[in-house]
Amino acid sequence: MIATDFEFNGIKASDVNLIIVNFGGPSREGVVSSGSKITFNSSKAINSKKWNFHGSHYEEQLAFTFQVARINLHKLPQETLPVTSYEKAYYINWLCRKDGYKYLRFFENGYENIFYNAKIELEWIEYGGCTYGAELSVTCDSPFGYSPLQSFETSVSSGGSFTIYNDSDETGSVIPQLTEIEILSDGDFRLSNSISPLYIANYTEPSDDVVIKGCKRGEIITIKGDTKQIATNLVTHNIANSFNYIYPHIINLDELHPEGTETPKSVSMLRKNIFTLSGCSANINMAYRTVRFAVI
């Protein structure tokens, strides 16, 4: 990647007179991080020569470094300028957050819609007693990046269906960051996903249906996927005892190469989540991000 501009926590580097550069240092040209270090969970029986596979997990968060310089972007030719003490204080306050991970993205064709939920550490780069830039060490909250925030909204009657396409770069499922359900008729809310029977992560029940019993017309239910919390605006509804704690999830089981000869039908069947609602009618809103793999 050869981007010269980036955005962190909603602020573009070029708007505060920073640009991505390379001041030099130990060469790792051609060696890049992909965040793909995976560990197999395996075991070997006594006297066996074979290790049995039980699953896998990512071993490390995605981490990388890049360098920035203070540039006068409004003057030609552009020149590198020393960083003042006031600017140092601002850059540290902007980049070295104390309030959790923030989204980082790079402005380069094909990369601008990949968001890394990251923290940044900063070390100044100095020459001749003046500070001209910094090296930024980025640590992400996961081994990958994310898509822009996607939203889906629909109104569906009992027995009706709707479809969400999972465009993730990784097979598996994603739980929406936020699901809001407005109940339009009394009943037990049950939401099923057509791909669930093919997905191996049915840990809790034979069915992966989302079930909320005893819903009332006009009730608004919110499910926060990141924290696994559910709430209702109806104080008489004991939502904790009514929910089966199976969360809505959008699945991708497609491992086909995009240039392959497989038919589009096979791709659609593995990425298209057909949800069916029964028991009541509802307005449903979902907000979610899917996985993005990228070379840094």
Greater confidence (2 vs 97) lies with 97
- pLDDT tens-place string over residues 78-131: 677 888 999 999 999 999 999 999 999 999 888 889 999 999 999 999 888 888
> pLDDT digit string (tens) for 250-259?
999 886 555 5
Cα distance between residue 69 and residue 135, in whole Å: 9
The pTM score is 0.78
| Pairing of the two strands 178-183 and 172-174 | unpaired
Residue 289 to residue 223: CA distance in whole angstroms: 15
| Mean pLDDT calculated for residue range 17-23 | 88
Q: Which H, E and C letters describe 96-137, residue by residue?
A: CCCCCCEEEEECCCCCCCCEEEEEEEEEEEEECCEEEEEEEE
Q: Measured between alpha carbons, how far is 116 from 64 in angstroms, rounded to an integer?
A: 11
Whether pLDDT at 207 is above 90: no
CA dist 58 → 41, 143, 157 (Å): 11, 7, 40
C-alpha radius of gyration, the chain, whole number: 24
**What would the pLDDT profile of 38-63 be if each residue is shown by its tens digit?**
555 566 667 665 766 554 545 578 88
CB contact at 8 A, 142 and 60: no
- Give per-residue pLDDT as tens, 157-174: 999 999 999 999 888 899
Q: Coil, strand, or helix at residue 270?
A: helix
Which pLDDT value is given to residue 289? 96
CA distances to 8, 15, 106, 139, 165 from 115, in Å? 10, 19, 8, 13, 20
Are 94 and 83 spatial neighbours (Cβ–Cβ below 8 Å)? no
In whole angstroms, what is the distance from residue 123 CA to residue 96 CA? 11
